[in-house]
Structures are given as C-alpha cells and as structure tokens.
C-alpha cells in the first residue's frame, strides 16, 4: 500500500502572536516551528502503523521553503520512508491543495492522510480540496481507520456523535484525535532520517484564490470580577442580570 | 445579488447554526437555501423567517455525503445564478465547502467570524482564536463558511417557498455502516452553556460535581486535554488547540489552570467563569468571573444556587 501523508509546519503552541508591516504579516521573528500536531500525532503515526502491519511505504509531502526542512526531517525521524518538498511558500489553502494534487496524481497513492487542520490558520480546507482535485472520497475528522484488502473502515466524528463508514481505496482522510498515539523519535530514527531521501520538486505555480490582507489582535479582556466562594447566589445573579447568559 | 446557502435538514429539526447562516446570507443579497432529504415542507419554509425567499430541496437522496452535497450545491448555484455561497463552518461545511471551492473555482473563506468589511475583506479567526485575519477573495465566485455562534440570528419574517429540484448529486461512494448519537448529550460544538473540568478534580470518580452542575444548567460538558488523555472523560470532550474549539455563551472551568493551548479552544466564549484554588492560575486573566476556592466545595454550592434560581424564575 502506498501512503502519502501531508505534513505542514505550525508555530509552537506557546507562540505569542504578533504582526508586522502595518499588521499585514505574521511576525515570524523568534517563532519556533513544530510539525503541525494533527499531521504528526495522528496522520503520520497511523500511516506508519498501517505500513508496519500490512507493508507498503509512507511518503510525506510538504509545500514549503527550505526553512521547512527541520520539520520534514522530524517526520522522517518518526519513520516516514521518504519526503518530498514542493518548493514554494504556502500562502493559501487552494494553492497548497493544487500543488499537492499535482504531485500526488503521478504517485498512484492508495491513501492520502492529513491532520484535521493546522493549528495556525485552522482552515480545515486542504483535505477536501485535495479530494476534489483527485476525485477521491474525503473522510473528514476520522478517529479510526482500518484497511482490509482495498476497503477502508473508519469512525468519523459527526455532529453529536460518531459514524462508522466504509469506502474503497483510494481515499483522502483527515485525521483527528483517537486515530493514533504520538510517537517520540528515538536516536536511531533521528540518525536514519539524515540519510533518507528528501526530494525537492518545483512548484506547479498554482493560483491563490484568497489572500490575507490584514490581521488584528482581539481587544484585551477587562479584569476578572472575583466572587466570594461562599456566595454562589451572587455569581448566579451576575450571570443572569449582568452577563445575561442564564 | 443572488446568494445560495446550504442547510442540513437531516435531523429532527434545523439547528441554530443553519439559521445563523441564512441570517448572514441575507446581509449579502437575496437568499435561496438548498437542502436534501425528507424534511417536510413546513420545516423548510421556516427558513423564510431568517430571510430565505426560496428553499430548493432534492428529495432523491438523504444524508450528508460530502461528494453528493457538493454536486447538489453546484447544480443549485448554477440554477439560481449565485456567485456567493454560504455554509455554516460546522463538520459538514468543513467537508463540503473545500470540495465545492475546487469544483466551482471559488475562493473559500473558512471560519468567517463576521460580515464583509467595506473593502470586501471577510474577518476570520486565525491562530486558534488568538487573532483575526481579513481575507480577500481573488476569484469571481466565492464561498463563505461561517463559524457557528459568531453572529446573532435575526428574524426578518416571511415564509419561504419550497421547491423540489434535481441536484444531480450522483451516487455516494461512502457506505454508512452505523451512526451513534449518544442520547441526552448536548453536542459540544453547538452548546450555548458548557461546564468543564480539569486535572484539579483529581479523578473520574469526582465528575458528578461537573455533571450535576451541567444538568442543572442544561449545559454540555467538556474537559482539559490531560483529563481526556487519562481516559477520565471521552476524548470528544477535550477542548483546546488540539481538541474541539468552542464558542458558547458561558464557559465554566473548574480545576483547569488555563494553559495557552487550553485557552485557544475556549477564548471565543462570551463569558468565562473560572473556579481554581490557586489565585495565580493563568485562567483568571482570561476570565470574566473568578472564584478562588476548592472546586469540591464551590461546585455543589453553585449547583444549589442554580437550582434555587431556576425554581424562582
Ligand atoms: C502541543 C500541545 C497541545 C496541547 N493542546 C491542549 C489542548 O488542546 N487542550 C488542553 O486543555 N491542553 C492542551 N495542552 C496541555 C496544556 O499545556 C496543559 O498541560 C493542560 O491544559 C493542563 O490541564 P489542566 O489545567 O486540567 O491541569 P493542570 O495544569 O494540572 O491544572 C490543574 C489546575 O487545577 C487547580 N486545582 C487543583 N486542585 C483544585 C481544587 N480542589 N479546586 C479547584 N482547582 C484546583 C490547580 O491550581 C491547577 O490550576 C497541550 C500541550 C501541548 C504541548
């Protein structure tokens, strides 16, 4: 089975968010990047588990510049066989999906896995777009995935519950919590990753259908109102009369 | 301008986020809603209250298969000549809107938090609620997926006409084997009131403290990541940057420190109440109301106070 895992970088979760150039650009100075947790913990690890159980290969693909190679090496250290970087700065989901689709069409992958969203732009867009480009079914927010022959069985989150669905490969699957457990790369993995192929391919110059024109930070919260722990009637009264939420 | 809005009508009733999407679409132009399945005409006609003139319904298929819905919405957009399509950015919108954006070559604004500004850019939530971005769409056609709970529904009156149509949705390539909808549970992403517990509650055996308060309020329950990771609570209750992001009217957090990753999932709540023994817990900085005290004592007292309030109102 040929598995493709889409890997994106994201700012470390403790990053303080600020903007430059008249609030038109995310201020990257001093920002530490990590592998987007949904891509790493769930999509990549489940891909590796399937390969370990059933054979095949796990390739990662990243749309990004040379600066992204540290995060790509981490994915290799966790166990991916080889990686491809499509050499262009990712600026919009439609661009990223079209670039990956262009690459994936050649590869004949049985399964394309990605995280349910990135933790910076939270768009949840690339998976669905990619599925449409590749004319594959898209299973979003999958919490489990097993494969028998060419049939995949998945549990996916739906509004208010969980649905079990079945579909034939090839498929695009966005992965959410429950899919797998985080794996910490060991020394051997890290050493091996240095020798694994990281192919760089040129961009197909996909169009960007949207652009971020400006950013803003939310207004700061006013100070907390403290309530005596022995006076919960007061809290309830405030929630009713002042906050008007109950 | 003709605006199309997709509505999920597969449940027993139409959810509030669908009315939000219609309200939003109404601010942009003349609204046609599109849906599929067996919902009766009277249920669909009530979309008129929020500004839909017409509801197109494809009765030939049921369910929420993302490829079928994509094809149906594209057919409807062509039929009514809509260049703007609105979704709720719920689980269905997140699966369908990206597909449709490729099919129609329409720029997608995912997670819109308000109406377009004068310059045409649309505000969205980014960096897990830590900032806003303003998105410009560079294509003629556009799709806006509205974050649930980010605008007020507005009733403008009226009843929509309901018209059957053929959405050419094709066959589903995904077989649904089983659907589990836990009874009585309020789905977290839609909940207006949420009571949440963290590691400060010490263990799953103490969760009645949270459940009792939630029951009294009619609230959904949530938890911090370590609580779900330790299997004290099911993982769909995990809120935060790597869990569910929610925007209820009221979020009550007991025994949760307020780590930045936790706040990222709850900072769009309108009102936050924090109960914590440590007056220096970071959560107090993000809270509207705070109680410095032991959750084991405060929660039962709060539950009692809510009970009293409900009885007298
Ligand atoms: C990449 C990454 C992603 C993450 N994503 C998430 C996420 O999505 N969601 C999330 O929640 N976390 C996430 N975390 C973890 C996060 O950093 C915190 O570790 C976690 O939120 C802490 O959970 P907690 O507040 O329940 O526990 P603790 O930090 O242990 O806090 C317990 C709190 O309870 C208080 N307390 C103790 N006893 C009592 C009592 N009797 N009454 C009242 N209060 C009491 C304590 O004072 C303390 O403030 C993530 C971390 C990383 C690195």
User: Is residue B172, in this structure, part of any structural domain at all?
Assistant: no
Q: What is the pLDDT of residues B106-158, one digit of tens each?
A: 999 999 999 999 999 999 999 888 899 999 999 999 999 999 888 999 998 78
Residues B124 and B228 in one domain: no
- Report the C-alpha gap between B22 and A168 in whole angstroms: 35
CA distance B111 to chain A (A): 7
Interface of A with B in 27-46 (CB under 8 A): 37-38, 41
Please provide the average confidence, as pLDDT, over all residues in chain A.
96
Residues touching ligand 1 (Cβ under 6 Å) are A 13, 37; B 198-200, 224-227, 240-243, 255-257, 259, 261-262, 265, 275-278, 281, 294-296
Residues B241 and B113 in one domain: no
Measured in Å, residue B258 CA sits from the centre of ligand 1 at 6
Which among B22, B124, B8 is positioned nearest to B73, based on CA atoms? B8
Question: How many structural domains is chain B composed of?
Answer: 2
Query: Averaged over A41-49, what is the pLDDT?
Result: 97
Interface of A with B in 78-97 (CB under 8 A): 93-94, 97
Q: What is the pLDDT of residues A162-193, one digit of tens each?
A: 999 999 999 999 999 889 999 999 999 999 99
| B137, closest residue in chain A (CA to CA) | A210
Q: What is the pLDDT of residues B161-207, one digit of tens each?
A: 999 999 999 999 999 999 998 766 778 877 899 999 999 999 999 99
Chain A partners within 8 Å of B271 (Cβ): 239, 243, 245
User: Is residue B177, in this structure, part of any structural domain at all?
Assistant: no
| A219, closest residue in chain B (CA to CA) | B131
List of domains in chain A: 2-213 (3.40.50.620)
User: Is residue B47, in this structure, part of any structural domain at all?
Assistant: yes
Note whether A140 contacts B108, CB cutoff 8 Å: no
Residues B158 and B280 in one domain: no
Q: Give the position, in ligand 1's atom list, of the atom nearest the Cα of A12.
A: 1
What is the domain-level CATH number for residue B106? 3.40.50.620
Predicted pLDDT at B184: 67
Residues B242 and B274 in one domain: yes
Residues B19 and B158 in one domain: yes
What is the domain-level CATH number for residue B255? 3.40.50.1220
Q: Whose CA is nearest to atom 29 of ligand 1?
A: B257
ipTM: 0.94
Q: Give the position, in ligand 1's atom list, of the atom nearest the Cα of B226.
A: 23
Residues B150 and B288 in one domain: no
Predicted pLDDT at A230: 97
User: Is residue B182, in this structure, part of any structural domain at all?
Assistant: no
Q: What is the pLDDT of residues B42-67, one digit of tens each?
A: 999 999 999 999 999 999 999 999 99
For B204, phi then psi, to 5°, come to -60, -25
The domain in which residue B307 lies consists of 188-311
- Does residue A108 belong to the interface with chain B, where contact is any CB pair within 8 Å? no
Q: Give the position, in ligand 1's atom list, of the atom nearest the Cα of B197.
A: 26
């Amino acid at each position: 089975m040929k598995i493709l895992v889409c890997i994106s970088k994201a700012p470390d979760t403790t990053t303080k968010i600020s903007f430059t150039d008249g609030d038109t650009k995310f201020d990257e100075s001093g920002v530490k990047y990590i592998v987007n947790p949904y891509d790493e913990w769930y999509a990549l690890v489940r891909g590796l588990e399937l390969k370990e159980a059933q054979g095949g290969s796990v390739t990662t693909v990243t749309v990004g510049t040379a600066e992204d190679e540290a995060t790509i090496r981490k994915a290799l250290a966790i166990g991916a066989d080889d990686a491809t970087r499509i050499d262009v700065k990712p600026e919009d989901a439609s661009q990223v999906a079209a670039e990956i689709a262009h690459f994936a069409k050649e590869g004949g992958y049985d399964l394309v896995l990605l995280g349910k969203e990135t933790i910076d732009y939270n768009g949840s867009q690339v998976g669905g777009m990619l599925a449409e480009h590749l004319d594959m079914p898209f299973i979003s927010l999958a919490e489990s995935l097993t494969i028998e022959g060419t049939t995949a069985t998945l549990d996916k989150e739906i509004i208010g519950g969980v649905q079990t669905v079945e579909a034939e490969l090839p498929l695009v699957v966005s992965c959410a919590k429950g899919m797998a457990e985080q794996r910490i790369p060991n020394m051997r993995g890290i050493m091996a990753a240095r020798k694994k192929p990281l192919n760089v391919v040129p961009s197909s110059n996909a169009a960007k259908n949207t652009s971020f024109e400006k950013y803003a930070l939310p207004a700061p919260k006013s100070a907390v109102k403290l309530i005596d722990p022995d006076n919960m009637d007061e809290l309830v009264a405030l929630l009713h009369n002042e906050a008007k939420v109950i | 301008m003709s605006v199309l809005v997709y509505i999920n009508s597969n449940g027993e009733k139409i959810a509030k986020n669908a009315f939000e999407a219609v309200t939003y679409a109404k601010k942009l132009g003349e609204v046609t809603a599109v849906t599929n399945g067996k919902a009766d005409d009277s249920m669909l006609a009530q979309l008129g209250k929020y500004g839909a003139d017409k509801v197109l319904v494809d009765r030939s298929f049921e369910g929420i298969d993302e490829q079928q819905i994509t094809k149906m919405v594209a057919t409807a957009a062509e039929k009514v000549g809509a260049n703007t399509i609105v979704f709720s950015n719920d689980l269905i919108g997140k699966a369908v809107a990206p597909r449709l954006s490729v099919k129609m070559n329409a720029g997608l604004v995912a997670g819109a938090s308000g109406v377009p500004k004068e310059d045409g850019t649309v505000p969205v939530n980014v960096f897990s609620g830590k900032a806003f971005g303003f998105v410009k769409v560079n294509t003629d056609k556009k799709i806006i997926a509205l974050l649930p709970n980010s605008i007020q529904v507005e009733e403008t009156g009226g009843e929509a006409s309901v018209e059957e149509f053929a959405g050419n949705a094709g066959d589903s390539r995904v077989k649904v084997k089983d659907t589990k909808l836990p009874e009585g549970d309020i789905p977290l992403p839609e909940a207006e009131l949420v009571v949440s517990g963290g590691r400060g509650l010490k263990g799953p055996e103490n969760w009645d403290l949270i459940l009792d308060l939630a029951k009294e309020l009619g609230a959904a329950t949530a938890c911090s990541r370590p609580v779900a990771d330790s299997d004290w609570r099911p993982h769909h209750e995990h809120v935060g940057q790597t869990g569910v992001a929610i925007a209820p009217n009221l979020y009550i957090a007991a025994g949760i420190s307020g780590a930045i990753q936790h706040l990222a999932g709850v900072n769009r709540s309108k009102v936050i109440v924090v109960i914590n023994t440590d007056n220096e817990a970071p959560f107090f900085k993000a809270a509207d109301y705070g109680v410095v005290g032991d959750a084991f004592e405060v929660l039962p007292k709060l539950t009692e106070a809510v009970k009293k309030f409900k009885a007298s109102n």
